[in-house]
Structure 1
Amino acid sequence: MNRQNLNYSKYTSRYSPRHPLAKHAVSQIGKLELRPQDIVKAMGYPQQHTIVTCDRLRHVLSSDILGLNGSDVDTYFSAHEFLKALLIVLDIPYETFADNITQIEFDLANYPYPLSQYRLRAVINFKFTAGANWMSRGVAASKANVYLPDDIAKLHHVERESIVQQCIHAHYKKYKGNLPYNGEINGYRLIVKQRHAVVDRIEYGLPECE
């Protein structure tokens, strides 16, 4: 590892950025060789608040929503103000990420956080032959995936149910009688996860196709 990488590790190892803006900010921290206490001091925090504010800084830069849900605030900055002050210190133009930040705030104001994750799959019975290797089995199994719109979690439950039914219908129409290893679709299963834990399973029968 060269000296530059050592410096990056020294100044950035406490952060686990998930959002593109956070990744850019952490990269900038490494380039500027800024310690957490240097950053919060430049943001205007008094010395007696250094430890707790450094924790807030780590939370913001490790959050997929940049801490904008206000779960970690203080008397100096709101969640939005904290982020703006941080960008100024890191010499990152706010305007570059303004639309992205606005979208996060809109989603937080209008949808639950975190959003549920939806996965829809066909329940298929394959008749694998003795010569079917792991690769061909994997390709066959991938046909069970039913792709849902990216914004499925943001839809009202009535609209979401309608979309699920449409996706099931389209998948069944495409793959009925057209699956490898004489695959037979027996139904569909919608898995709902919250914070990576399964919170609901919904079973669907076969649709009526014309």
Structure 2
Amino acid sequence: MSHINSQNLTPSKYTHRYTPRHPLAKEAVSQIEKCERRSQDIVQAMGYPPKHIISACDRLRHVLSSDILGLNATDIDSYFTAHEFLKTLLSVLDIKYDTFAKDIAQIQYDLAHYPYPLPQYHLRAVINFTWSEGANWMSRGVASSKAVAYLPQNIAKMNAAKRELVIQQCLAAHYAEYNGHLPYNGVINGYQLIIEQRHEMVDSIAYDLPQCE
């Protein structure tokens, strides 16, 4: 999406405070680097008065380092809403808003309909292995990796009924593939769903083995 190659940018005195994660932010940082614009000059051009330059620079850094471009409005002021700040910033940097309008709308939709950050779902089989004396850490690691039952990336955005159905389908598919076919006489005894948010476990659900047809 970016029209400016932002790969392998060497941070300079103009961009070292930013860690862009979204394509729009990478485009903005590339433009800042290209035009050699200081953060205080940018926010001043956006209309901030001198007494609010420091806090505005902090907000600019937050927006350009956020994966959702600061659109969750956790860092706002009396001058701009989260969306207005972004639109004004793009105007000051001579970046066309329409280029990223769809991305911005998607972020706003997700924030309105889903928790942020989205919880992470991990489904694993509970397996008992009979390790032989020759099973080193590498071979054990490979065998243990078979416990992962992969879930679709968008599972956190599904409603509860749909998510449960998909979990059951993934669980059954994993069991059909690995039951009786695991190294070191591995036996699947059940499944466990781990739910994490902000890198912390918030829930754990145990599942029985699927019913064989």
TM-score, length-normalised on structure 1?
Answer: 0.91
Q: For 2:84 and 2:137, how far apart are their aligned partners in 1?
A: 52
Unaligned runs of 5+ in 2: 1-8
Q: 2:20 aligns with which of 17, 22, 25?
A: 17
Tell me what 1:196 maps to. Answer: 199
Work out whether 1:134 is the aligned partner of 2:137. yes
User: What is the CA-CA distance between 1:16 and the residue it aligns to?
Assistant: 2.2
What is the number of equivalent residue pairs in this alignment? 205
Report the residue type matching 2:53 in the other structure: T
Secondary structure of the residue that 1:124 maps to in structure 2?
strand
Q: For 1:132 and 1:92, how far apart are their aligned partners in 2?
A: 57
Secondary structure of the residue that 1:118 maps to in structure 2?
strand
Q: Alpha-carbon deviations, 1:126-155, whole Å to 9, x = none?
A: 222222333322222211111111111111
Secondary structure of the residue that 1:54 maps to in structure 2?
helix
Q: 1:64 aligns with which of 50, 57, 67?
A: 67
Q: For 1:124 and 1:32, how far apart are their aligned partners in 2?
A: 57
Secondary structure of the residue that 2:189 maps to in structure 1?
strand
TM-score, length-normalised on structure 2?
Answer: 0.90
User: What is the CA-CA distance between 1:176 and the residue it aligns to?
Assistant: 0.5
Q: Alpha-carbon deviations, 1:91-131, whole Å to 9, x = none?
A: 22222221111100001111122211111111111222222
Q: For 2:205 and 2:128, how far apart are their aligned partners in 1?
A: 19
Unaligned runs of 5+ in 1: none
Tell me what 2:184 maps to. Answer: 181
Tell me what 2:105 maps to. Answer: 102
Work out whether 1:116 is the aligned partner of 2:122. no
Q: For 1:130 and 1:29, how far apart are their aligned partners in 2?
A: 59
Q: For 1:154 and 1:31, how far apart are their aligned partners in 2?
A: 38
Would you tell me which structure has more helix in proportion to its own residues?
Answer: 1
Deviates more, 1:197-206 or 1:10-19: 10-19
Identical counterparts, % of pairs: 68
Q: For 2:99 and 2:143, how far apart are their aligned partners in 1?
A: 44
Secondary structure of the residue that 1:122 maps to in structure 2?
strand
The runs of at least 4 consecutive aligned structure 1 residues that moved more than 6 Å come to: none
Distance 1:162 1:43, change over 3 A: same
Q: Alpha-carbon deviations, 1:12-41, whole Å to 9, x = none?
A: 221222222222222322222221101101
User: What is the CA-CA distance between 1:201 and the residue it aligns to?
Assistant: 0.7
CA RMSD of aligned residues (A): 1.6
Q: For 1:19 and 1:29, how far apart are their aligned partners in 2?
A: 15
